[in-house]
Structure 1
Amino acid sequence: MSKPFLSEPETSTTDTGVLLLNLGTPEAPTPQAVRPYLREFLSDQRVVELPRFLWQLLLRGIILPLRSRKSAHAYQSIWQDNGSPLLIGTRSLTQALSKALPESVITRFAMTYGQPSVMDVVQEMKKQGVANLLVVPLYPQYASSSSGAALDQLWRALLKQRVQMAVRSITSFCADTNYIKTLAAHIHTHWKQHGRGECLLLSFHGIPLAQQQAGDVYVEHCRTTTQHLVSELGLKDNEYRLAFQSRFGYAPWVGPSTQDLFNQLPQAGIKKLDVVCPGFVTDCLETLEEINIRGKADFLAHGGEQFHYIPCMSSENEWVKILIPLINQNLQGWL
């Protein structure tokens, strides 16, 4: 029988740590690697709020055999020589923040699903002497299925500690001034380099409608970000759209649907489209493949003439500018 608590490291230090949490990624773009990642992800009841026994029958018997092959093919279209874009981007952001923070602050990252796991990284940080931990889920807008699921993994790790760390978390920064102004400047820079389309589509990851109706604040946060951003950009009502992507299954999801708009906007006279994904800190499958490959193809196939995806902001300059003030504010009293 496993011990209820992990052994405590032989250290008396009270160092401070910053832990970044992102969604996760398979270790390779193959069905064999994608399947266990999807099984862990889709088994989380924060993500799929259905009766567990029934859902597991569907997941293991039907969904995983089909979706693993399809997802692996999608990952293959964006995979880089040194690995998953999400993993590369998260590691780069962690390194950039580590350089910008005091040397005494131990900065690491972990994934809600897959590797490096939250359990392993938290235990490693504890062995290094971290007693005060600031946790930053890399989602500007809070959702139970993203930030909530990431923090669940942290609480599970703390349950294994005999002497628990002191913990603070940044659960949302959807209206943060630095976030809005830096993202607006990022979009302006893209327009200066590539020209400006007739409409800016702000595409956020979607959630099932039932989760919003149960009280999830995510859609409200997305609307808040949109309102602040379009105000900073000075856009008129007919110059932008808000939409939600990545629908899965047959249950209703919040809308309007990004996928539907790719088909409908050309028929409404919008032939030149810019797309930005404000809810993603690093480019990943949902931005690079779903938006910039499949979405672009759909938009052009339905009569669109120009499609520009505006990539996620760079970790070395833009995200450091956004996150360092938030982190420093939440580290007060620990340094």
Structure 2
Amino acid sequence: MTAKWMMLTRLIGVAAPCAFAAALYAQSPPTTGSVVEKLGERPMIGFVEDVPTTAEVAGAGQSVALEPHVRVAFVRTWEGWKTACTYGEGETERPECLDLDLIRPVVWTVMYQGKRLGEVETDSWYDPRYYRTLGVLKRMPKTAPRIGKPDQMFASWLAPAAHRPLVALRNIKVAGQIDHAGWVSTKPAPTDMATIHAMFLLAFKAMPNCGAAPGVSQSIEAKHLFVAHSTRNKAGDRLLGVRLDPKFAKGCEGPLGLEWSDLWFHAAADKAPAMLPVEIENDLAPFRMSLIEMSDFDGDGKPEALFWFSSHSVEGYLLVHDQFEQQVRFMWKYQ
């Protein structure tokens, strides 16, 4: 974790000592329970995503071919949720994956917003030579479920637009509609936004005033915040995704700074919002983060949230669990 994000952790801890229950880089503790440990029967979470077929970074005007494959990211063991694969130093290092018995025909159940979309089958690793294909399993010749069209929201270093990743489950039961614990879209409460505004001020202090006075900073005001996500459940818990409104970036020259990152906050029914635990290794560029799915994937009666994230030459997924205070991170790099 970089110095800037460690500072952000301390600042938010000062701003909301009662609400911020864990450091940004909190690790998942071992858990107990009767989880199947038989080879090939462990509950797994993967993602159907667009994988670039070229090994080269696209230049100006160069198109990149994309194919849908499955990237296995998280595995449930008797110790809790674990990252399925990691990589050693150097792009030529082979991946180190848990013994998951996936080099054979394997069927994955694909879901979107709690509903079963269909199935996709894999049979081998896609291409273990590259860091960017960490955990990617080759899809067998058959149409994969997809939602919508390629979008800039999920653009990567190798593609200007990509389909929304879809959750692919293995050894996790999906029976039609999965319980979302009553999470519904809602307008954020003024008190929650006041707390979040204070966190932005402590973390970033100011933002560039690119449109009116390039090179001159201005204090972050409430009007500068853009709520990308706001939901509430039946118990009164809230989940909010907030960032600086992109319209204020118009006129900015050069790459945008860290203050343009997506920040996510969770609040229990009787608590103020606390920033979700996130590990970030780069503080040179904005950190984009989008909620992909939220459901009870391990049957403990509590929801887990799956996020896609992207920053400078890095992308991955976050599984946030344990009352939104712990995380497991799956990450790959392009350089």
TM-score normalised over the length of structure 2: 0.25
Q: Which has the higher contact order (CA 8 A, sep 6+)?
A: 1
Higher helix share: 1
Higher strand share: 2
TM-score normalised over the length of structure 1: 0.25
